[in-house]
Amino acid sequence: MDQTNLNHLTIQIKHWATELGFQKTGVADIDLSEAEIHLKQWLDHNYHGDMHFMEKHGRKRSHPEELVDKTFRVISCRMDYLPEESNDPTQLLKNPSQAFISRYALGRDYHKLIRKRLQKLALRIQKHLNETNNNHDFNYRVFTDSAPVLEKPLAQKAGLGWIGKHSNLLDKDAGSWFFLGEIYTNLPLPIDKPVDSHCGNCTSCIDLCPTKAIVAPYQVDARRCISYLTIELKTAIPIELRSLMGNRIYGCDDCQQVCPWNRFAESTSEQDFQPRDGLDTATLLELFEWDEQTFLRKTEGSAIRRIGHQSWLRNIAVALGNSTDDNRVITALKNKRALSLSDLVDEHIDWALENLTKASQ
């Protein structure tokens, strides 16, 4: 394809992406040398904790052409997810009886939804190439947080935003409440201009982090991050961090909620990202009563399901231990403890009961 046709195709791709529900689309080259250095330093500090998959694939994460043969460009797409809610998230955090769940997990699991949209976009590109009698051998593969892909550095190179000090991607017009997805392709599309950082001297995200997981600008120690502790960690939550978790039972949005750029964020128009089963209003006691069958039924099609029932109860036990010394809380903890569901759950229930006792003295 000549340059004129490639330019036209890129414009068309962005238009088709918008029609499919993406709010912004860009194209990046595959030079991730700077991101590779940052990743290596992060891994060398063991900031990835038990997320061994971050080091498992060697060069494939920072060399797209080694993950998907012949990759020359990456089409990066953004889809907003901020839901409309019954409760103000900041008020939820102030009410120890309420359960706080990261906003991205209140609705349907984004993986399948975005992957299907990206596949539709890729097929539309293929159709266009066929209709224009272009003999380019179009190779591609779609991703969304589902493979060793450095999605944020790629999105930054594609002009979708800049990586903030909390390590999330930021857009001046939309903040950070969005998902990312990619199409790896061999098409020699024209690339977009990267976005400069606009964090300035602001350190709000660093200052507010409950567990001080943002150890330096652009450096997050996952081992202290509440999102890691409640989602990725499969063993006991470190005792010294439990009281800092408050009522956060799945993820943590503090660094995003405090970011000044998120005042420009708008609620998503995707119905699948709206809260399900009252998760934006549920109390800790309500969710603690879910047995495994209820948990599986209520979290069907949700990202929450992947942590499993045991981690779910572990997280809620910690949150209950950080709540008030209420007879209902004590009774619920003791009733669940009597079931001896697992050593993991029992240990956190014991901690919760002890913590409540200390708080009441």
Residue with token string 């088709």: 16
C-alpha to C-alpha distances, 163 to 36, 41, 148, 170, 183, nearest whole angstrom: 15, 17, 18, 6, 20
Continuous H helices in the chain? 3-19, 33-44, 53-56, 64-67, 89-94, 110-131, 151-157, 204-208, 226-227, 239-242, 254-257, 284-288, 292-298, 308-321, 327-338, 343-360
307-335 as b/e: b if 16+ CB within 10 A: bebbbbbbbbbbbbbbbeeeeebbebbee
Assess contact for 151 and 145: CB atoms under 8 A: yes
Distance CA 171, CA 201 (A): 17
Count of CB atoms situated within 10 Å of the CB of 98: 20
Q: Is 145 known to be catalytic?
A: yes
The two beta strands, 248-250 and 100-101, are parallel
73-80 β-sheet, strand order: 24-28, 73-80, 178-185, 140-143
Burial label, 77 (beta-carbon count in 10 A; 0-12, 13-18, 19+): buried
Distance CA 226, CA 258 (A): 16
Please report the DSSP string for 237-270 in residue order. PPHHHHTTSTTEEE---HHHHT-GGGGG------
Q: Which H or E element spans position 220?
A: strand 219-220
Choose the catalytic residue: 29, 31, 50, 145: 145
Catalytic residues: 145
